[in-house]
């Protein structure tokens, strides 16, 4: 397993792989890897000849009031996880390597980036799509892997790839949860013991939703009950609870076929997201 921090260096390796006709999978991450990231890496290893894992805490997707400085980092541990999941390369550039001194270009997917998480975090998704577009151009992957835990991000990246004609197969990988149901996240380390218990209300409310959503049910009823489940816990502050069409992310009124229940909740200082997506009832 090799580690690259320079764009030119990884490009040289990619060129060798391409000349040998090898298929390349890319797993973009912000590091502090856990079993959720490992499942993306393993999926890539299974379906490609070479897997590159990028580890880059991308400044442009954090607002000034967010946790860029305190975001957890541990490159040594990350490299071990990539190696044991079968990855071939870690690409871990510094911010200056990625953005240079005078970066003026941004990629934004309209509409989809402006709803849900885009309301509280208005510049977030443009930061994500810009850095992912750059990673696509550097690594030239055949396939790229994204977690369905960040469902809105996955839909936005798929749209970007379609609109900008990236010849890359965008794969969504199911959410990996802890044994108690909490979706794994690098930000879970911010949670105290009590907050972690409160955070379980997110997955619990999705289990409630799955059991109770039937054709013809009103979204507002399910949302109200999810709100109760989450608000019953101390330490929680709801950012949003939405039930949307799983492709367009438009709000649903009456649920009659596929749906996505999407949640964002502050638990203590951690902002957690979780979701349940069904394409058929």
Residue 117 is a binding residue for ligand AMP (CB under 6 A): no
Q: Which of 36, 87, 93, 268 binds ligand AMP (CB under 6 A)?
A: 36
Q: CA distances (Å), 276 to each of 148, 149, 177, 245, in order?
A: 9, 9, 13, 12
Residue 124 interacts with ligand AMP (CB under 6 A): yes or no: no
Residue with Cβ nearer ligand AMP (183 or 191): 183
Upper half-sphere CA count for residue 213 (Cβ side, 13 Å): 30
Token pair of 216, please?
């013809």
Is 227:238 a contact under the CB 8 Å cutoff? yes
Quick one: which of 183, 229, 270, 277 contacts ligand AMP (CB under 6 A)? 183
The residue from 142, 150, 195, 274 that contacts ligand AMP (CB under 6 A) is 150
Are 131 and 255 within 8 A, CB to CB?
no
Smallest gap, in angstroms, from Cβ of residue 157 to ligand AMP?
8
Residue ranges of E strands in 33-168:
50-55, 89-91, 143-147
Q: Is residue 176 part of the contact set for ligand AMP (CB under 6 A)? A: yes
Indicate if 37 belongs to the active site. yes
When the beta carbons of 124 and 235 are compared against ligand AMP, the nearer one is: 124
185 touches ligand AMP (CB under 6 A): yes
Residue whose Cβ sits closest to ligand AMP? 147
Give the up-direction half-sphere exposure of residue 204: CA atoms within 13 A in the CB hemisphere: 15
The whole-angstrom separation of Cα 14 and Cα 49 is 12
Q: How far is the CB of 236 from ligand AMP (least distance, A)?
A: 19
For residue 225, report the phi and psi dihedrals to the nearest 5 degrees.
-70, -35
Q: What does the per-residue mask of binding to ligand AMP show for 244-273, with x meaning CB under 6 A? A: ------------------------------
Helices 124-139 + 7-19 axis angle, to 10: 50
Q: Which one of the listed residues 34, 37, 124, 235 is annotated catalytic?
A: 37
Q: State phi, psi for 271 to the nearest 5 degrees.
A: -100, 115
Q: Hey, how many other C-beta atoms are within 10 angstroms of the C-beta on 201?
A: 24
Out of 29, 48, 79, 188, point to the residue binding ligand AMP (CB under 6 A): 29
Q: Note the helical H segments in 164-218.
A: 193-212
Measured CA distances, 179 to 39, 45, 210 (Å): 16, 25, 19
Instruction: Kindly indicate which of the ranges 4-12, 91-99, 171-179, 258-266 contains the residues binding ligand AMP, using the contact rule CB under 6 A.
Output: 171-179
Residue 270 Cβ, how far from ligand AMP at the closest point, in Å? 12
Give me the phi and psi of 163, to 5 degrees please. -65, -35
Which of 17, 154 has the CB closer to ligand AMP? 154
Q: How far is the CB of 121 from ligand AMP (least distance, A)?
A: 13
Q: Is 37 in the site for ligand AMP (CB under 6 A)?
A: yes
Catalytic positions: 37
Residues engaged in binding ligand AMP (CB under 6 A):
29-30, 36-37, 39-40, 146-147, 149-150, 173, 175-176, 183-186
């Amino acid at each position: 397993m090799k580690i690259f921090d320079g764009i030119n260096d990884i490009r040289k390796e990619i060129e060798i792989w391409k000349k040998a006709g090898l298929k390349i999978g890319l797993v973009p991450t912000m590091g502090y890897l856990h079993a959720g990231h490992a499942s993306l890496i393993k999926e890539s290893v299974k379906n490609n000849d070479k897997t590159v894992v990028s580890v880059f805490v991308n400044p442009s997707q954090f607002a000034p009031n967010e946790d860029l400085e305190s975001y957890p980092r541990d490159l040594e541990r990350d490299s071990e996880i990539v190696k044991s999941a079968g990855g071939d390369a870690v690409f871990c550039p510094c911010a200056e390597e990625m953005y240079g001194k005078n970066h003026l270009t941004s990629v934004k997917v309209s509409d989809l980036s402006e709803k849900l998480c885009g309301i509280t975090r208005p510049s977030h998704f443009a930061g994500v799509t810009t850095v992912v577009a750059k990673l696509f151009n550097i690594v030239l992957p055949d396939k790229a892997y994204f977690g369905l835990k960040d469902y809105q991000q996955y839909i936005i990246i798929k749209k970007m790839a379609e609109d900008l004609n990236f010849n890359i197969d965008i794969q969504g990988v199911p959410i990996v949860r802890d044994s108690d149901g909490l979706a794994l996240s690098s930000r879970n380390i911010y949670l105290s013991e009590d907050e972690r218990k409160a955070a379980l209300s997110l997955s619990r409310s999705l289990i409630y939703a799955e059991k109770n959503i039937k054709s013809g049910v009103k979204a507002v009823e399910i949302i109200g009950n999810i709100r109760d489940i989450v608000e019953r816990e101390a330490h929680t502050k709801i950012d949003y609870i939405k039930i949307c069409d799983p492709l367009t992310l438009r709000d649903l009124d009456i649920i009659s076929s596929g749906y996505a229940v999407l949640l964002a909740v502050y638990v203590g200082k951690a902002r957690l997201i979780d979701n349940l997506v069904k394409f058929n009832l």
